[in-house]
Amino acid sequence: MKAPHFWSAGLDPRSREAAPLTRLLLTPLAFAYRLGVQRKLKRALPASVDIPVICVGNLTVGGVGKTPVVAAIRGVLAARGIRAATLSRGYGGGIKGVARVQPGTHTAADVGDEPLMLAASGESWIGQDRVAAARAMQADGVQLIVMDDGHQNPSLHKDLSLIVIDAAAPFGNGHLLPNGPLREPVADGLARAQGVILMGEGEVPAPVMLAAAPVLRASVEPVGAMPEGPLVAFAGIGRPLKFFDALKAAGADLREAVGYGDHHVYSEGELKFLHKLASHHGARLITTTKDHVRLSQPEQQRVLAFPVAARFEDASALDALLAPIITSASA
C-alpha cells in the first residue's frame, strides 16, 4: 500500500495538510477502527512463554527504521552469548504456519521480505499466531524472542515493549487509520511501552516527553562504501523519500528516484522500465535490502543493494534497558 499524501501533514509537498473533505468522509471508519483496537487490547488475556519476549513496535504505518533496530538488538543479545531470534508475522509470505526462515531455501514470496532480510544476519522465525510461534521457538531452544512489530497485538505477553518513532515524521497528520497513519492513539501506545527509540534527527515529540518511558536516540547508517558512478534508485517501503535522501547524504550520484508502496512486488514491466531508465542515464540500479530480497535471483545480480544498520547514540543506555531481560534469559 502506498500511503496517501495527506497522511504526511506537510512533509510531502503534495500533501493537503487539512484535507477536510477526505477526513470528514473517513472519520466514521477511523472511529470504528479506534474502538476495535481498544476493545481488542482491553479484552485480551496475553499468553506467556517461559522465555523473555521483547517487542519492537511502532505507532504508525510505514517505515520508521524498526527492522534495523530489531536486528541491532538481536545482535547485542547474541554478543552476550544468548540465542536470540526474531519473530515476524511474515506479511506477504505464502507460508501460513510457524517456520524458521532459511536463506537460500525460502524466498520473500514464502516468508515475507522483512523476515528474509533479518535471516541474513541472524536467526529469524515467522508465525501469524504469535503464541504458537513463541512456543515453537522455545521448544527449539531459543532463549529470547525479539518480536518485529506486534505492539498492537496483545496475544503474547511482552517482557519489554519498545516503540520506534521517526523523529522527522513522528505521527504524520496525527490521525488514526484511515484518516492518518496512526495505528492507535499516541498516548495509549506510549502508556504500554517501557522505552522509546527516536530515529534520526529531530526534537523529542511532546507526547513522548510526557510519557514515563526513557528515550534512546538512534539512526540508520550505511554499511560499507557507496557504489561509485551514476545511480538510479527505487524503493517500495513506507517512506521511499527517506531512502533517497539517505543515498544523497551518503554521497550517491543519484540521477533519478522512483518510489512505490510498502512491500511492493515488482512486475516484469516495472523492472524493464527501471532498467531502461538506468540505461538512459548510464547508471546502475540501487534499492533497499528489503526491496532486494523481493527480486528474483537474476534481478538480484543486476541490481545493487544499499545495506544499512541501526546505530544507538548511547549504547550503555540500551544495555541498561536490556539488562533485566538478559539476566532472565541467562537464568
pLDDT in tens, 16-41: 454 565 656 667 777 787 788 888 88
DSSP letters of 178-214? TTSSBSS-HHHHHHT-SEEEEESSSPPPHHHHHSSS-
Q: Are 165 and 64 in contact (CB under 8 A)?
A: yes
Question: For the chain, what is the mean pLDDT?
Answer: 92
Q: Are 83 and 141 in contact (CB under 8 A)?
A: yes
Q: Express as a percent the part of the chain with pLDDT over 90.
A: 79
Tens of pLDDT, residue by residue over 308-321, are 999 999 999 999 99
- Whether the pLDDT of residue 201 is over 80: the answer is yes
**pTM for the full model?**
0.91
pLDDT range class, residue 174, cuts 50, 70, 90: confident
What is the structure's pLDDT at 15? Answer: 46
What is the structure's pLDDT at 106? Answer: 97
Q: Are 115 and 90 in contact (CB under 8 A)?
A: yes
- Whether the pLDDT of residue 101 is over 60: the answer is yes
Q: Please report, for the chain, the start and end positions of each structural domain, with discontinuous segments joined by +.
A: 53-220+311-330, 225-306
- Whether the pLDDT of residue 14 is over 80: the answer is no
The mean pLDDT value for 1-16 works out to 57
What is the structure's pLDDT at 13? Answer: 46
Bridge partners, 56 (sequence order): 148, 162
Kindly report the CATH number that applies to the domain delimited by 53-220+311-330.
3.40.50.300
Question: How far is it, in rounded angstroms, from Cα 243 to Cα 291?
Answer: 11
What is the structure's pLDDT at 80? Answer: 95
What is the structure's pLDDT at 142? Answer: 98
DSSP letters of 232-273? EEEEESS-HHHHHHHHHHTT-EEEEEEEE-TTPPPPHHHHHH
pLDDT range class, residue 216, cuts 50, 70, 90: very high
- Whether the pLDDT of residue 208 is over 90: the answer is yes
More confident residue, 10 or 62: 62
- Picking from 73, 72, 23, 31, the residue whose alpha carbon sits closest to that of residue 52 is 73
Query: Is the torsion defined by CA of 27, 32, 33, 38 positive or negative?
Result: positive
State phi, psi for 46 to the nearest 5 degrees. Answer: -60, 135
Bridge partners, 99 (sequence order): 126
Lowest mean pLDDT among 26-30, 49-53, 88-92, 134-138: 26-30
pLDDT range class, residue 1, cuts 50, 70, 90: low
Residue with cell 518485529: 148
More confident residue, 276 or 330: 276
What is the structure's pLDDT at 6? Answer: 62
